[in-house]
């Protein structure tokens, strides 16, 4: 239910990660949302989100709900969000623009999820992934600002992640399934391809 959405963490201001924000805000407004929405992210990202909202003229939407911004310092192991359900911390990644990866601790179950976001393989990603039950790691390909599936596997192995789900991989005119075997060359745990609208019980 849309009322269940209280908090949104934005990792960085790249279109494939944030372009849905204005339409999400409009949809929540059309559904009659009244309660404030909390938005977390780096200053670099949040100022641009504010610009997007300004461009969308959100303030002219009658009864538009409050959107409250929570800037996250661009430092290692920063507490982003701590509520009854989750404790979420962030680390800067190495990407084209300021970006954070996340470590999500589920308080009710004790499950821990790591999310590399977009990044080259750097020690910070091992840190945020240490001992996680599930590591969501990008596999856009090696090179500046990104990681290959084999590099994702290296991070998962070094962090002793219990399970690896590859995400942010190329699907344009290519079959991504070989990425699973590529990750298996460096990581011996279970590997899968994360899919849009996939559900991962935590």
Enumerate binding residues for Zn ion (CB under 5 A): 14, 118
Are 21 and 49 contacting, i.e. CB atoms less than 8 angstroms apart?
yes
Between residues 45 and 179, which has the closer beta carbon with respect to Zn ion? 45
Structure tokens belonging to residue 30: 């059309």
Separation between Cα atoms, residue 35 and residue 119, nearest integer Å: 34
Which residues neighbour 22 within 8 Å (Cβ) at sequence distance 6 or greater?
52, 53, 55, 56, 58
Give 118 or 154: the residue with its C-beta nearer to Zn ion.
118
Name the DSSP letter for residue 146: B
Q: How far is the CB of 155 from Zn ion (least distance, A)?
A: 17
Nearer to Zn ion, 101 or 114 (CB): 101
Identity of the residue, 14 or 94, whose beta carbon is nearer to Zn ion in the bound complex? 14
Q: Are 189 and 164 in contact (CB under 8 A)?
A: yes
Contact status, residue 100 vs residue 127, Cβ threshold 8 Å: no
- Minimum CB separation of residue 17 from Zn ion in Å reads 6
Least gap, CB of 105 to Zn ion (angstroms): 24
| Cα dihedral 97/76/7/198 (nearest 10) | 80
**Order of strands, sheet of 37-41, starting from the edge strand that comes earlier in the sequence:** 7-9, 37-41, 67-71
The residue (of 118 and 182) whose beta carbon lies closer to Zn ion is 118
Residue 91 three-state SS: strand
In whole angstroms, how close is the CB of 117 to Zn ion at the nearest point?
A: 8
Report the nearest approach of Zn ion to the CB of residue 140 (Å): 8
């Amino acid at each position: 239910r849309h009322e269940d959405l209280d908090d949104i963490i934005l990792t960085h201001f790249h279109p494939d990660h944030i372009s849905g924000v204005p339409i999400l805000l409009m949809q929540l407004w059309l559904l009659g949302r009244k309660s404030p929405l909390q938005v977390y992210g780096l200053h670099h990202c949040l100022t641009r989100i504010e610009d997007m909202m300004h461009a969308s003229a959100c303030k002219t939407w009658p009864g538009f709900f409050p959107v409250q911004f929570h800037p996250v310092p661009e430092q290692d192991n920063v507490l982003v969000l701590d509520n009854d359900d989750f404790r979420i911390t962030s680390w800067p990644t190495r990407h084209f623009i300021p970006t954070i990866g996340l470590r999500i601790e589920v308080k009710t179950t004790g499950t821990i999820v790591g999310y590399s976001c977009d990044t080259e393989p750097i020690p910070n990603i091992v840190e945020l992934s240490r001992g996680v039950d599930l590591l969501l790691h990008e596999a856009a390909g090696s090179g500046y600002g990104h990681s290959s599936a084999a590099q994702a596997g290296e991070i998962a192995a070094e962090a002793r992640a219990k399970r690896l789900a590859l995400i942010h991989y190329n699907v344009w005119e290519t079959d991504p399934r070989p990425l699973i075997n590529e990750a298996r060359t460096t990581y011996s745990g279970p590997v899968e391809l994360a899919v849009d609208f996939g559900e991962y019980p935590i």
